[in-house]
Chains A and B, each alone.
Chain A
Amino acid sequence: KQEVTQIPAALSVPEGENLVLNCSFTDSAIYNLQWFRQDPGKGLTSLLLIQSSQREQTSGRLNASLDKSSGRSTLYIAASQPGDSATYLCAVIPGRAAGNKLTFGGGTRVLVKP
């Protein structure tokens, strides 16, 4: 059974510092991996989606890498801003099973201090 882990559960950094968020998964047979942002009491917003054949995806200050063989993905946020404060969740879609069933990590709660 696929398990997704995000460590640390919470992170606090001063404004301007780069953020590094980690995601690990136990079954490397994934179809893709997705990073989401969640603001308190709100739904999820998709940030980046990495196909299993890709090694990274970039969007503005965000860069996500994927190493399937080691079961890891990292989300980098450059030059963090207070507006980046949120919970970041990663999720994987299995490669073997049919359907679109996401398996989520527990999230990393980020606080960027001005």
Chain B
Amino acid sequence: DGGITQSPKYLFRKEGQNVTLSCEQNLNHDAMYWYRQDPGQGLRLIYYSQIVNDFQKGDIAEGYSVSREKKESFPLTVTSAQKNPTAFYLCASSIIGASGRETQYFGPGTRLLVL
């Protein structure tokens, strides 16, 4: 079954703790993205990566970190520096084609809650 998987579905973070959200894709897509969605709002880009071992900050990267050691994996770490981490986190991937602006495919999301 091809697609994007995110785990866990729900994640609880204690004060001062770092937590890591997993995103895996078997679509052989080059590019991967992390978005944050707050209640009643659209998605905001946190980080994106167009190739292995390379990634760029999005609009709201502060308090987050990523790595891209493998093509199929793009984990997101929410650090203790992120003061308001409660949100729904969505991962996406796309091919890199001639236009450089191909459709993104989204995972099912991880809801992060602070204890």
Interface-centre pick from B4, B50, B101, B109 (highest chain A CB count, 10 A): B101
Give chain B nearest CB distance to A101 CB in angstroms.
6
Given the complex, which residues of A lie within 8 Å of B40, measured CB to CB? 9, 106-107, 109
Annotate A1-41 by CB proximity to B: 1 below 8 A, 0 otherwise. Answer: 00010100100000000000000000000011010100001
A77 on interface, CB distance cutoff 8 Å: no
Give chain A nearest CB distance to B94 CB in angstroms.
6
A42 on interface, CB distance cutoff 8 Å: yes
Given the complex, which residues of A lie within 8 Å of B56, measured CB to CB? 99
Give chain B nearest CB distance to A102 CB in angstroms.
7
Give chain A nearest CB distance to B66 CB in angstroms.
15
A71 on interface, CB distance cutoff 8 Å: no
A60 on interface, CB distance cutoff 8 Å: no
> Could you say which interface size class chain B belongs to?
20 to 34
Query: Which label, helix, strand, loop or mixed, suits the secondary structure of the B interface?
Result: strand
B17 on interface, CB distance cutoff 8 Å: no
A49 with B108: CB separation less than 8 A:
no
* A interface size (C-beta, 8 A): 27
Among B94-115, those with CB < 8 Å from A are 94, 96, 99-109, 111
Tell which of A43, A45, A107 touches B41, judged by Cβ atoms closer than 8 Å. Answer: A107
Interface-centre pick from A42, A44, A105 (highest chain B CB count, 10 A): A44
Given the complex, which residues of A lie within 8 Å of B31, measured CB to CB? 100
Residue of B nearest to A46 (CB): B103
Bound together, the chains give a CA A34 to CA B107 distance in angstroms of 17
A102 with B43: CB separation less than 8 A:
yes
